[in-house]
Amino acid sequence: MNFSIVSRLLSGQIHFDIPFYVFLFFAGLAGGLAYLMYRNIEGISKPRQILLAALRALSFFLLLLAVTNLVTDFVRFHSKKRDVVVMVDDSKSMSLADGSNKRSQVVRNILGSPAFAELKKDFNVAPIVFGDEVLKTPDLDSLKFDRPATNIESAVAEGAKLNTNGETAFAVLLTDGNYNTGGNPIDVARALSFPVFSVGIGDSSQPKDVVIRQVIAAPALYAGKKSVVRTIVSSNGFGGRSVTAHLLEDYKEIDTKVINLPDEGNIEVSFDYTPNAAGTHVLTVYIPPQKGEFNQKNNSSSVAVEVQKGKFSVLLIAGEPATDVAFLGRNIVKSSDFDLKVLIQKTGDSFYEGNAAEILSQKYDAVLLYDFPNSQSAVTLSEVIDFLKSTGVPLAYFAGKRFSPTQVSKLPRLPFAVQGYQEGEFQVGVSPVNSNAMSANLQPLYTLLSANSSLFPPLYYQRIECKPAFGSTSLALPVLNGVQLNLPIFFVSQASRSAAFLAYGLWRMQLMSSLSGLRSNFLQDFLAILIRTLIGGGKQKLLAMHTDKKVYDPSETVNFNGLLINQAGSPVSDAMVDVNIKSESTRQSVADVRLAPSGDGGYSGSVSGLGQGKYSYVVEAKSQSSFLGADSGIIVVEPLNVEFMQTPMNVQFLRQLSSVTGGEFLTPAEFMNGGLHLKPEWKEPVKLTDATRFELLSSLPILVVVFLLLAVEWIMRKIWGLP
């Protein structure tokens, strides 16, 4: 059995975990050895013999304990005052005033009240300051009430973390109860082991106010294409009043609407919006402040939108004036997203269009090749190959009746390689491949094929044995007489921005749609999605940088995160990555940021203090004098006003939060005048135990003591004339 020698030492305990008989054996062995060594020594007195024997015995005893690797616990008992977690809302809504009572001042009055001083006297106050997140270094004396959002869930979760040893007696929450980010605080509060006393700040009655709650734009916007922007306007106390709502793009007015405000509730307002240019734009809806309005900071709301290029320039090059060419051109033109030019081969050295050289000299967003090149292409092929190589433009190849594997293989950047060819025309169906490994960018194409392929009329197909090029994806296979052939018929390569469709007779899809049930605009949609997919593809950038949000409040920090790789795709972690930020309105530089490496090619950094406005940034990566990569983007800084969407105190939520934890809801006056109803046991100090464990063999102090004992013994022996 184990025996514990326990003795009080310096208000603590020492615990030796060793069998009792071993302890006695070590003590007897050490004493016996010391006795044998000093019992017959002559020339010194008996007391000196006893002292030397005692030093030697103690040294032996400690060495014996050490070599057995004895574990020793030092335990200290102490007590401390229990904690009180004080959670204070530091968000913008706390800067509002309810009549003559400013909420921020009410909070300061509570923190400076005798009732709060009494809490600090009886308890250890553990502060938590929160807004959109919990502040890392909370300070109740430097509250600013400027955080752009309220996350009460994070504050309650942080309070739970502080109670690791059960030292928290209760918590006090000072807030208006309006949370607009994070999850439901009630869910976290249910698991707390201590009660929460909620002190509601603000007026719970609905004030007279006009609020722009949300600005909603279409998910896909294109330059020059008309769309609708909607907004939700909330009103209370202004029933029947006629006001003008303004829509602004990049702070310039583009549309207005006169509306009649409801006495209570919401009204939807729609604006016409036609973007003039591609890029990031700020849309703002604004209603002028009304007389007697509670809060004028929520009369506007903004959203950042990405506008894509509206009209893409497309060149269609055909090997002959086939029916498919007419249908391809007609469906491309039918889409308002594209401008089309056509070149049709007449002979091996000319096109029907007399100005072919001029057409090929222009810039295009995409090129479609139909049955080009074929066996008759010669000079025309050379001209087109030079054009494709010099521009790197995205291209889509459509096979035709005159397919020539020799000529087609000369084209650059095709998503397939021809391995064999068998003449003979078959009629086949089109079967989409399994989509398990399909990238997100290809999903729209795949979804369109999957939804309609069963309704396709038979297409013409020549047996072309081909292999997908590296990085390309096969989206469909031909079906001959009900049997699916393992010969891909439709490829897309995002890396080289190219595609290939190896069946023809596409005109049949449109003519037979009314009979088969195929949607009549399938070919138009297919071509539009295919062209946009190719244009939006491209090779991976060596430096890819982004910010953590699209729109920032002026009080928020803009965080940059990016990845830098080399040509081989390996991360680069030792570069200098610098960000230059310019104001879009003045074109002046406003900030420079050096990003720090975060490992595996990652770089991060931040900037704060950007005022309201639109900013562009350029990021460059260098290694000594070598340029490694660049990226750019847009930053939008706008007052989010989310804190002013819901202004009355949410008393129902605060009562529920306190109820589920066993606490109470109080008004500021009730807290300052009567304090909290505390249980007597909460004021009792909590008893704590601190234990330190170490092994004697590896403990330097024990070994030092043994050395000193032997040294003292040796010195005494020399002084007293002993060997």
pLDDT per position as a tens digit, 158-168: 999 998 777 89
> Using CA atoms, how far apart are residues 317 and 319, in angstroms rounded to an integer?
7
> Using CA atoms, how far apart are residues 81 and 85, in angstroms rounded to an integer?
13
> Using CA atoms, how far apart are residues 284 and 638, in angstroms rounded to an integer?
9
> Using CA atoms, how far apart are residues 567 and 588, in angstroms rounded to an integer?
33
Q: Sheet harboring 227-236: ordered strands across?
A: 209-216, 227-236, 264-273
Report whether 156 contacts 192 (CB < 8 A): yes
pLDDT score recorded for residue 158: 95
Segment (H or E) for 411: none
pLDDT score recorded for residue 469: 86
Is the full-model pTM beyond 0.95? no
443 contact partners, CB below 8 Å, separation of at least 6: 435
pLDDT score recorded for residue 7: 39
pLDDT score recorded for residue 514: 53
Look at the block and give the residue holding tokens 């000369």: 410
> Using CA atoms, how far apart are residues 573 and 623, in angstroms rounded to an integer?
10
> Using CA atoms, how far apart are residues 392 and 534, in angstroms rounded to an integer?
12
> Using CA atoms, how far apart are residues 700 and 706, in angstroms rounded to an integer?
10
If you ran DSSP here, which 8-state letter would residue 685 be given? P
Q: 577: closest CA among 588, 592, 567, 587?
A: 592
Report whether 490 contacts 416 (CB < 8 A): no
> Using CA atoms, how far apart are residues 429 and 417, in angstroms rounded to an integer?
22
**358 φ/ψ angles, rounded to the nearest 5 degrees:** -65, -40
Looking at the DSSP assignment, which residues form a beta bridge with residue 248? 253, 284
Residue 647 CA, distance from chain mean position: 29
Q: Residue 427: CA atoms inside 13 Å, Cβ hemisphere, count?
A: 4
> Using CA atoms, how far apart are residues 315 and 394, in angstroms rounded to an integer?
11
* Helix/strand/coil percentages in the chain, nearest 5: 30, 40, 35
> Using CA atoms, how far apart are residues 184 and 644, in angstroms rounded to an integer?
19
**37 φ/ψ angles, rounded to the nearest 5 degrees:** -75, -30
Q: 667: closest CA among 654, 682, 656?
A: 654
Angle at 272 between CA 266 and CA 277, to 5 degrees: 130
Report whether 14 contacts 66 (CB < 8 A): no
> Using CA atoms, how far apart are residues 489 and 431, in angstroms rounded to an integer?
9
Report whether 557 contacts 635 (CB < 8 A): no
Which residues of the chain, if any, have pLDDT below 50?
1-15
Rounded CA Rg of the chain: 40
pLDDT score recorded for residue 24: 73
Which string of DSSP letters, residue by residue, matches 329-355?
HHHHHHSTTEEEEEEEEEETTEESSTT
pLDDT score recorded for residue 5: 40
Q: Pull the structure tokens for residue 426.
A: 């078959």
Three-state SS string over 500-524 comes to EECEECCHHHHHCHHHHCCCCCHHH
Instruction: Give the chain's domains with CATH numbers.
Output: 2-77+692-719 (no CATH), 82-200+648-683 (3.40.50.410), 209-308 (2.60.40.10), 312-535 (3.40.50.880), 543-637 (2.60.40.1930)
> Using CA atoms, how far apart are residues 373 and 391, in angstroms rounded to an integer?
18
User: Angle 20-38/46-67 helices, nearest 10 degrees?
Assistant: 140
Report whether 295 contacts 210 (CB < 8 A): no
Q: Pull the structure tokens for residue 691.
A: 């234990």
Segment (H or E) for 259: strand 252-260
45 contact partners, CB below 8 Å, separation of at least 6: none
Q: Pull the structure tokens for residue 470.
A: 């590296």
pLDDT score recorded for residue 47: 81
> Using CA atoms, how far apart are residues 599 and 2, in angstroms rounded to an integer?
51
